[in-house]
Amino acid sequence: MKKGLIIVGLTLIFSLMFSITPIRAIESQDENLKVDYIVEKVSEQKAQIKIKVTNVSGTVLSNVQLNNEIPDDFNIDDSSNITIATLGVNESKEYELTVTLKDDVIISGDGDLEKNDPDNNKTEQPNNKNSQVDTGDNVKIGLFVLGGLFSSLIIFKAIKKRRIKSLLSILLVAMMALSSINLVKANEIVSKEIKLTDGIVLNNTDYEFGLHITYQYETIVEDNNTITRGEWINSLVTAMNYPDLTVEIDKPYFNDTAGTIVENSINYAVAYGIVELDDESFYPNQLASREFVAVTTVKALGFIPQDELTCDDANEIEDKQEAYLAVKLGIISLIDNHFYPNDNATMTLVNKSLSVVKDVLDSQNVSNEPVSNIDYKDGVITLQENEVTILENEIIINNGVETEDIQKDSIIVVGETGCYKVTDKSTRDNKTVLGVEPADLNEVIENMNIEGTTKADFSKFIPGENVIVDIPEADTNARSVTTPDIGKMTFEISLGDNIAVKGSLNADITITTKCDIDARFAWPPLDFKNIMLKLDPRLDVEAGIYVGDSEGAIDEETLEKVKDAFKNGKKCKGTINLGKLPVVGIPGCRIYLEFGMQYSLEGHFKVVCNVDGQFGVQVYNNNPRLICSANGSVSPELGGNVKIGPELAGVLKTLGYDIIDLSASTGAAGEGSLAYRPTGMLCADLGAYAYMDMSALKNCVIGDWLDVGWEKSFWDSKNSPLKCNGHFENGTLVENCTYCDATINGMVVDAETNEPISGADVKVFRVSDGQQITSSSTNDLGNFTIYVAGNQRLRVETSKDGYMTCKEEIDVASNEVKQLQTRLQVRGSDGTNEKGKAGGIVSDAQTGRGISDVNIKVRQDWGNKDGEILKTLATNASGEYLIDDMSLGNYTLELSKENYVTSYLNIVITKSGNLQQHATLNPKAIAGDESELRVVLTWGQVPSDIDSHLVGNNDRFHVYYSNKQYSKDGELICDLDVDDTSSYGPETMTLYKSAHNEVYSFYLHNYTNRNSTNNSILSNSGATLTIYVKGEYKQTIYIPTNTQGTLWHAFNYHSDSQEIELVNNFSYQSSPSAIGN
């Protein structure tokens, strides 16, 4: 028994040593938060409370609540409760509050406290000056006690049965389990609290003050899965939600990203400074490190580097400033004061980083209605601008304005003009005269919350000195007077003897601002929660440097004259101030935009520049960052080394303070010539690039308080997304500039009569930004031809009085001749609710039989594959569909069924109702029945018989209605399923197996009118070829309209590349067997 008791005793001792966390009592610090709290006597009636909180953990603390418990006998100058939204790692906050005994509290002669009230009740306060801390560990201690009791029962039972080995095993497991117990659940927000007390003696009376602190932090289960560098950059760029960026460079930024799924994201990452070009390789498949994820997140968000991170392994960190911000922002947490920069990033870190990105981007959102709330400090006196005259260091107050409360050191606010501190007060000419000096912002406001969005009104433009401008007057009858789109402003300014910059500026600028400042406490003097000035400009600038009347290239002699004009210390570069524009529309603040032209000159230069995107600066929880997501275009002509482009600067002012400033410029630089076409094509010769520079916080309150001013070149000769050498077009070296290298052909007809419509308007828009790039109209036959740059997605709109607008999105390839489906214009007006109908049959492409239960989704306009679904329906047992309850117009049908390839059909809904709008579905390939090429033909009512022909040119064969199959060595090579002689189709030609390096030619023949030598019936038949390669949809080809001929050589199919080569050749042929010879 004695031996058993010894074992029990030792076991309990070891269990307590290894398992129970000691209680840290009467301390002002727990594992996360250090608190310094003191109450100091100022006088017999006044005391000061000082609080300092420091985050000593490795994670961000949130919702830190400082609740002061003040005895009832005191008044407090400020709120006793303080909220800190987030407290970053190693971040400290200090606060001071002043309390004063109430006037109705009196002290008796013997030092007893008395209240000046009818009952004269005596109030006693406990005398306890010791600081006490509640660490919140009581629950955990209780659990250990219960664990100890339970262990004791097991131990006694084991000893009784003499199972010592089992006992030791149980004890080891128990100790391991107890030492690893964690009461925090995964993915939970944990709340903690700390309580402190302190006391003072005023007038021989003891008072006890208390501080109750609560805070939260997040704990999650570590996801130790990893991510590659390429995967991370894809995720980060997607989360940043950048607008479409045109990237045209002569070679990839890295030698291991070209043609990969990460290439597009890399282009964005390089353009916006997320990834540096310090290596020829990016290593996209290498695992991302902790430092790589953390640092690229900080760079993507544009935070301005400040201090360097200090930790135990700081010497292993390459980017110490970005690492410091990553920890401060809560992107990454230190582990035992280690950053571990080279360790693999886990998905926990990835998800946290993306969460911070979302929070920061969301902080840019503003309310739909302007907000303007300014709370002044007690004692601040407000005057209106019409009540005073403001001179240098003096303010003269008009007669009749109350001035009794104004004394030396008073703070006064004059409208939105400025804030002043009174240095003296006197009388002059029966008026009150105040000597003043600028007041600090933290002396004026308790807090400020201003936000809103407005437009720049160019009718208020103020030209710069010696700048000649011509601003067209706004058409007040057509638009509101604050609409900025008032036309093109021309400008001219002299640079020297017979040298001038001339040009024009057309701007549409949206300004968004936020101003959330808290100055309620003595430290920090100003808490910049969220300050933002963001400009969304669309600038169209055309400018040039001219010598005399010449616009040609500057020769050496003229260049010397230019240089002579900049003697006496001046150089051939600088920024021309065009003028400034006050912006109104957001109460409580004023914004001034300044416009300029940045230039440098060693030759002739003229530029057409378009800028679209966002430029901005934000201070997010006292951390400044630049906002930049821009796209631009430049069409300059260069001669020599030049740099020129528009500069846009903004200043946010409130109460006379310059709160925040921003400057951005973009344009072209380099040597040679550069032309970025409006259609999206980049043409360049020799070496040139687009540049973009930004600076912020150079001359403003925030820059002074945070001691930071920053400038950065976002795009330079290395990372510019628009740069090239030689003559390149969209990254491809060509001998001659082709510019508009693609052609769009089409025909517009009445949807009910099928008659051509002449004079219909045709407009083409770029889908990426909605900009119209060209337009045309139909001729007498209803035809139109438009030339555009290839390799882009376009929207074609056709319209005519009395008809609804027909819209269709298309993809146009380089050098493509695009034939559009005949435009069926529906009679009526856009937005009509008048109902019509449409219908047809959905057939199997192989058998020609109708398919039942085909799922049909209806969307507005043609070519709309992923827009809003307006209606769903299904085909009947015969494959027929009918729509009779929708408004007139053009629609897209999405047709799908299990085991068939999804297809799309453009239809029209008209009053009379066209029920011959048929479609086909191609069966998905099954094992043993794969086809290489399948062509499905459909057409209209006339002519009744159109035949498909496929000709093999090397492996000679000809499949058509008279020879429906071709086999070789007993294997079926090609067949035609059915010969439709009664209009509409479908007819399906299938090539099952192709020969190596073979070219197959596909023809359509107008068998009905085969003997005619003067008709265009075939071209106006509405024939459509739907092409599938390897069982997958490839493309749709529409027959060109109003073209003479009975034979159409539609395309060639190349077996090795599996590419379709459009031919579009018409001729006359009366003999079907002779086709292809």
CATH at residue 382:
2.40.10
Q: What are phi and psi of 360, to 5 degrees?
A: -65, -45
pLDDT at res. 470: 63
Q: Are residues 573 and 706 in the same domain?
A: yes
- Residue 525: pLDDT band with limits 50, 70, 90: low
Is 317 among the domain residues? yes
Q: Is the pLDDT of residue 882 over 90?
A: yes
Angle, CA of 641, 642 and 643, to the nearest 5°: 145
- Residue 466: pLDDT band with limits 50, 70, 90: low
Is 903 among the domain residues? no
Q: Are residues 558 and 466 in the same domain?
A: yes
Q: Dmax over Cα atoms in the chain, in whole Å? A: 131
pLDDT at res. 941: 85
Q: Are residues 189 and 245 in the same domain?
A: no
Is 860 among the domain residues? no
Reference 210, options 113, 132, 99; nearest CA is: 132
pLDDT at res. 977: 84
Q: Are residues 4 and 151 in the same domain?
A: yes
CA distance linking residue 941 with residue 230, whole number of Å: 54
CA distance linking residue 122 with residue 112, whole number of Å: 8
pLDDT at res. 233: 94
Q: What is the CATH number of the domain that holds 947?
A: 2.60.60.30
* β-sheet bridge partners, residue 100: 46, 75
pLDDT at res. 183: 35
Q: Are residues 433 and 484 in the same domain?
A: no
Is the preceding omega at residue 582 within 30 degrees of 0, hence cis?
no
Residue 198: both structure tokens together = 């302190």
Give the three-class secondary structure for 844: strand
Q: Is the pLDDT of residue 316 over 70?
A: yes
Is 837 among the domain residues? no
Is the preceding omega at residue 524 within 30 degrees of 0, hence cis?
yes
Higher local confidence (pLDDT), 389 or 981: 389
Q: Which helix (H) or strand (E) holds 895?
A: strand 889-896
pLDDT at res. 433: 92
Q: Is the pLDDT of residue 327 over 50?
A: yes
Q: Is the pLDDT of residue 724 over 70?
A: no
Q: Is the pLDDT of residue 961 over 90?
A: yes
* Final residue belonging to a domain, choices 675, 710, 733: 733
Is the preceding omega at residue 943 within 30 degrees of 0, hence cis?
yes
Q: Is the pLDDT of residue 167 over 60?
A: no
Which of 178-182, 656-660, 710-714, 973-977 is predicted most confidently? Answer: 973-977
Q: Is the pLDDT of residue 563 over 60?
A: no
Q: Are residues 257 and 357 in the same domain?
A: yes
Count of structural domains within the chain:
6
Average pLDDT taken over every residue of the chain: 74
Q: Is the pLDDT of residue 959 over 50?
A: yes
Is 916 among the domain residues? no
Q: Are residues 655 and 533 in the same domain?
A: yes
User: What is the model's pTM?
Assistant: 0.47
pLDDT at res. 460: 63
- Residue 569: pLDDT band with limits 50, 70, 90: very low
Burial class (CB in 10 A: 0-12, 13-18, 19+), 709: middle
Q: Are residues 640 and 566 in the same domain?
A: yes
pLDDT at res. 438: 85
Is the preceding omega at residue 370 within 30 degrees of 0, hence cis?
no
pLDDT at res. 757: 92
CA distance linking residue 551 with residue 892, whole number of Å: 52
Angle, CA of 115, 121 and 125, to the nearest 5°: 80
Q: How far is CA 41 from CA 68, 74, 79, 115, 211, in A?
A: 17, 13, 19, 21, 17
Query: In 10 A of CB 912, how many CB atoms?
Result: 11
Q: Are residues 335 and 261 in the same domain?
A: yes
Residue 371: both structure tokens together = 């907000």
Helix runs in 93-206, H state only = 138-160, 164-179
Is 857 among the domain residues? no
Per the listing, tokens 């960190």 go with 317
Q: With contact defined as beta carbons under 8 Å apart, do 345 and 288 qualify?
A: yes
Q: What is the CATH number of the domain that holds 797?
A: 2.60.40.10
Helix runs in 338-396, H state only = 347-362
Is 896 among the domain residues? no
Give the three-class secondary structure for 622: coil
Which of 54-63, 625-634, 833-842 is predicted most confidently? Answer: 833-842
Q: Are residues 289 and 164 in the same domain?
A: no
Is 373 among the domain residues? no
CA distance linking residue 474 with residue 183, whole number of Å: 68
Q: Is the pLDDT of residue 909 over 50?
A: yes
Torsion of CA 104, 105, 110, 112, to 10 degrees: 130
Q: Is the pLDDT of residue 687 over 60?
A: no
Beta strand 806-812 with 1059-1067 is unpaired
The residues near 668 (Cβ < 8 Å, ≥ 6 apart) are: 607, 609, 634, 636, 638, 642, 643, 644, 645, 674, 688, 689, 690, 691
- Percentage of the chain lying above the pLDDT 70 cut: 63
User: What integer is the mean pLDDT of 798-823?
Assistant: 89
Least confident of 610-614, 691-695, 868-872, 892-896: 610-614
* Final residue belonging to a domain, choices 443, 471, 487: 443
pLDDT at res. 617: 66
User: What integer is the mean pLDDT of 311-326?
Assistant: 93
- Per-residue pLDDT of 380-415, as tens digits, reads 898 988 898 988 889 999 988 888 889 999 989 888
* Final residue belonging to a domain, choices 362, 397, 424: 362
Query: In 10 A of CB 598, how many CB atoms?
Result: 19
pLDDT at res. 989: 93
Spatial strand order of the sheet with 1024-1029 comes to: 965-968, 971-976, 987-991, 933-938, 1024-1029, 1032-1038
Q: Which helix (H) or strand (E) holds 18?
A: helix 2-19
Q: Are residues 558 and 659 in the same domain?
A: yes
Q: Are residues 515 and 582 in the same domain?
A: yes
CA distance linking residue 920 with residue 851, whole number of Å: 9
- Per-residue pLDDT of 1041-1076, as tens digits, reads 888 999 999 999 999 989 898 888 999 999 999 998
* β-sheet bridge partners, residue 263: none
For the chain, the straight-line distance linking the first and the last C-alpha, in angstroms and rounded, comes to 113
Least confident of 191-195, 226-230, 311-315, 818-822: 818-822
Domain residues for the domain of 402 are 378-443
